[in-house]
Amino acid sequence: MDLLLQQIINALSLGGIYAMLALGLAIVFSIVRLINFAHGEIMTFGGYGIFLAMAFGFPPLAALTVGIGAALMMALAMERAAFRAMRGADVVSLLITSFAVSEILKVLFQNGISARPVPISFPASWSGTYQLAGMNIGVAPTVSILVTLTSLSLLTLVLRRTSIGMAMRAAAEDFEMLRMLGVRANRVVAVSFAVSGLLAGVAAVIWTAQRGSVDPVMGFFPVLKAFIATVLGGLGSLSGAVAGGFVVGLLEVLTQAFLPDGVSPYRDAIVLGAVIAILLVRPDGLLPAGDGSRS
């Protein structure tokens, strides 16, 4: 029972990170049809933001805020520099562009900061445990679950209650129509990138807090999982992305905990295989995005 609860907390914590990254990808994809391969670099940049802030002597909480801000700025800069010129290009061109941006940024991180992981030391209390009903529960996973849930519910609130949120949901359905109604396209796109950057920043904070270091490819692996999550949930569907993120996280933690030792090196392959098996049954994903086209 103890083990199971522990694993559920781990799964929620990891799944939450994937869900935030996947949601960021899905928001941008649904509005500009861009599968942003450089999303991982936004997260990595957030990590470096924390590192640099700490190196300049900021207190931990302030450093985390700087990290989130850095991710946000990176997302906006990316949109302005690389993707605005490509507005309306086909999915392939956009995807390749982001792939190129991602590769270039990785090299810049390697040369500009360090090819090796740089350490970030948070207060020891952050990695401690606390007692609940006689069980030891980690502080970091608990905080990360709380942060994830807060971020996701705040975002839901923004999307449902504010006018820019409604514009974004409308843009996800039919961007061209929204433009014709007189909503400023640049603003909606910029806000969608900002939201995805913000989520990536929060993910970076949780990720670095749990691992204690940053390296040039830090964002790469979680974002790969987030890609899989968006496809699993149904590409372009926001709720699907969140669901997909949690499913991938759950699968990963379960395989980690319960696979026999001989098979455990094949964990990634097994998780991805399971996702592909789900796609065989549901090619459009778990919660497919609507499609309003007619013949």
Partner 1 sequence: MSLPELNTHPSRLRAANHLRTIASLAVLLAAVAILVWGFGRTGERIAVLMCVNVTAVVSLMVFCGNTGIVSFGHGAFMTVGAYLSGILTMSAGLQRSALPDLPAWLAGHELSILTAIPLVSLAGLAVAVLTGGVIARLMGASATISTLGLLIIVHSVAISAREVTRGSQTFYGVPRVTDILFVLIASIIFILIARTYRESRWGLYARAVRDDEDAATVLGISPRRARLIAWTLSGTMATVAGALYGHILGAFSPASFYLGLVFAHVVMMIVGGMASVGGAVVGVIAVTLLQNAIRNLEGGATVLGATLPEVFGLTTIALGLAILLVIWLRPQGIVGGFELGPGADASVLRNIARMTRPADAPAPASEMKLVASGMSKSFAGVKAVIDVSFEAPTGRITGLIGPNGAGKSTLVNLMTGQYTPDRGRAQIGEVDLTKLPPHEVIRQGFVARSFQNLRLFAGLTAYENVLVAALATGVTRKEAHAATMRELSAFDLGDIAGMRAENLPYGARKRLEIARALAQEPAILLLDEPAAGMNPAETDDLANRIEMIGRDRNIGILLIDHDLKFVNRLSSRIVVMNRGEKIAEGTPEEVRADAGVIEAYIGRGRTARAAEHASSTQDRPYPTEGVLA
What single-letter amino acid sits at 43? Answer: M
DSSP states of 222-287 = HHHHHHHHHHHH-TT-HHHHHHHHHHHHHHHHHHHHHS-TTTGGGHHHHHHHHHHHHHHH-TT-SS
Print the binding letters for residues 43-82 with partner 1: x by CB under 8 A, - otherwise: ---------------------------------------x
Q: Residues 138-167 vs partner 1: string with x where CB under 8 A?
A: ------------------------------
| Rounded Cα–Cα distance for residues 95 and 261 (Å) | 38
What DSSP designation does 147 have? H
C-alpha angle 273/145/160, rounded to 5°?
A: 90
Selection from 35, 8, 32, 11 nearest residue 21 by Cα: 35
Task: Say how far apart CA 221 and CA 86 lie, in whole Å.
Answer: 26
C-alpha to C-alpha distance for 75 and 191, rounded to whole angstroms: 10
In the list 125, 134, 265, 291, the residue contacting partner 1 (rule: CB under 8 A) is 265
- The reply on whether position 86 binds partner 1 by CB under 8 A is yes
Residue with Cβ nearer partner 1 (158 or 279):
279
Q: How many CB atoms lie within 10 A of CB 39?
A: 31
Question: Taking CB under 8 A as the rule, does residue 95 contact partner 1?
Answer: yes
Q: By CB under 8 A, what part of segment 199-238 binds partner 1?
A: 224, 227-228, 230-231, 235
Stretch that binds partner 1, among 117-125, 188-196, 249-257, 272-280 (CB under 8 A): 272-280
- Is 295 a binder of partner 1 (CB under 8 A)? yes
Pick from 96, 132, 149, 154 the residue near partner 1 by CB under 8 A: 96
DSSP string of 54-74, one letter each residue: HHTT--HHHHHHHHHHHHHHH
Count residues near partner 1 (CB under 8 A). 46
* Residues 6 or more apart whose Cβ sits within 8 Å of residue 242: 19, 22, 23, 152, 233
Among 8, 111, 130, 153, binds partner 1 (CB under 8 A): 111
Contact status: 285 vs partner 1 (CB under 8 A): yes
Tell whether residue 261 is a contact of partner 1 (CB under 8 A): no
Report, in Å, the least distance between residue 136 CB and partner 1. 31
| Chain center to CA of 160 | 21
- CB closer to partner 1 out of 130 and 266: 266
Does residue 93 interact with partner 1 by CB under 8 A?
yes
d(CA 243, CA 22): 9
Query: Which parts of this chain interact with partner 1 (CB under 8 A)?
Result: 29, 33, 35, 82, 85-86, 89-93, 95-97, 99-101, 103-104, 106-108, 110-111, 115, 224, 227-228, 230-231, 235, 265-269, 272-273, 275-276, 279-280, 283, 285, 294-295
